Amino acid sequence: MTAQLFQPYRLNDSLVLDNHILMAPLTRCMADADLVPTQAMADYYARRADAGLIISEATIIRPDGQGYPNTPGIFTQAQIDGWRKVTDAVHAKGGKIFMQLWHTGRVAHPFFWGGEAPIAPSAIAVEGTVPRMRELVYQTPKAVTVTEIAELVSDYAKAAENAIEAGFDGVEIHGANGYLIDQFLHHDSNRREDEYGGSPENMSRFALEVVDAVIARIGHERTALRLSPGAYFNMAGDARDREVFDYLLAELEGRQLAYLHAGIFDDAMEFDYLGGRVSDYMRGKYGKTLVGVGSYTAHSASLAISEGRFNLIAIGRPFIANHDYVAKVKAGSELVAYSDEMLANLY
């Protein structure tokens, strides 16, 4: 039943994956104090090199993008060199790896970089406190100016260039899960009245500028994007968000990305304003390579792929619990169940 998962998949002329299973991006908060990847991280990723493609944990493009402790960066030479050890280790075992590029926007906390307020499309705070550091209350962000938006776009492109210098096979722009790019795409967090807010075209502008700047720097074959049309994390949904994503997905269809990736924890969740599941909504609007995700097993993913609901599957938590996930599924052996305590170490 799962045999087709182990067939190669052609993303484009320059990238053919050995199988249909991607390791989902998973924040582990294990970089060193300078946000440099460690040898333990290189070993952790190398143990998972038989995934068709590894997507790295979200990696911040600049200091004010940080929202959690010890998340790695890609804006200093030491970080580039640290990531080079990771990509060399993965490539030595025949694997492929993309870097996920991240700015957390209003979910950032100045505690981490010693600044004043975080930045976001509009001055609207997310409620609550930073996970694992509950003493840090989220602050009201400062609305970015148009000049600052242009700097952000150029910082994403520079981060993509740095990722290629560090040996990555490509990048996945993190446009999902309520972080900066997603904050422009939802009415809950974007109340702007300039050319970056108010209409589907304006609300999609920042996401498309980032995508186009990254494509211009490293090529469309090496550029991917993750999106969360369904608001579920750090974000409230709004029925008007639907037309923003309708517009954005139509624009993306013409851009020859390596792939488009859904951002959701459980794809059984249904969203009224999307008419059902996130993956089904995205499939309806986007005909090119789509990566499904969210509480799938190899069996349920295989079924979904055979039904044409998406093309590739990303696996998250089971890959934390089983470094040999691909080999185990292939052999039909039993998987270790994931539990949150496993986040304490990098095995």
User: What distances in angstroms separate CA 216 from CA 165, 208, 212, 220, 280, one per listed residue?
Assistant: 16, 12, 6, 8, 30
CB atoms within 10 A of CB 117: 17
Q: Report the sign of the C-alpha dihedral through residues 31, 35, 37, 39, in that order.
A: negative
129 close to 136: Cβ distance less than 8 angstroms:
yes
- Each residue of 68-89: b (16+ CB within 10 Å) or e? bbbbbbbbeeebbebbbbbbeb
- Tracing tokens 């269809």 back to the chain, one arrives at 253
Can you tell me which of 20, 24, 25, 27 binds ligand 8K6, judged by CB under 6 A? 27
Site for ligand FNR in 49-68 (CB under 6 A): 57-58
Minimum CB–partner distance for residue 310 and ligand FNR (Å):
13
Residue keyed to tokens 């493009």: 61
Among 48, 186, 205, 226, the residue binding ligand FNR under the rule CB under 6 A is 226
CB of 151 to ligand FNR, least distance (A): 23
Q: Is 316 in the site for ligand FNR (CB under 6 A)?
A: yes
Count of residues in contact with ligand 8K6, rule CB under 6 A: 8
Partner from ligand 8K6, ligand FNR, none binding residue 68, C-beta < 5-8 Å depending on class: ligand 8K6
In the residue annotation, 179 being an active-site residue is answered as: yes
Least distance from C-beta 165 to ligand FNR, angstroms?
21
Query: Does 111 help bind ligand 8K6 (rule: CB under 6 A)?
Result: no
Does the protein bind ligand 8K6 through residue 156 (CB under 6 A)?
no
Give min distance, CB of 340 to ligand FNR, in A: 8
DSSP letters spanning 119-176: EESSS-PPPSEETTEEEEE--PPEEPPHHHHHHHHHHHHHHHHHHHHTT-SEEEEEE-
Among 294, 296, 297, 302, residue whose Cα is nearest residue 271? 294
Residue of 45, 179, 247, 281 marked active site: 179
> What amino acid occupies position 136?
L
Least Å from the CB of residue 67 to ligand FNR = 11
| Identified binder of ligand 8K6 from the candidate list 232, 245, 247, 286, rule CB under 6 A | 232
- List residues near ligand 8K6 by CB under 6 A: 27, 29, 68, 131-132, 232-233, 265
- List residues near ligand FNR by CB under 6 A: 24-27, 57-58, 100, 174, 176-177, 226, 263, 265, 293-295, 315-318, 343
Query: Which residues are part of the catalytic machinery?
Result: 179
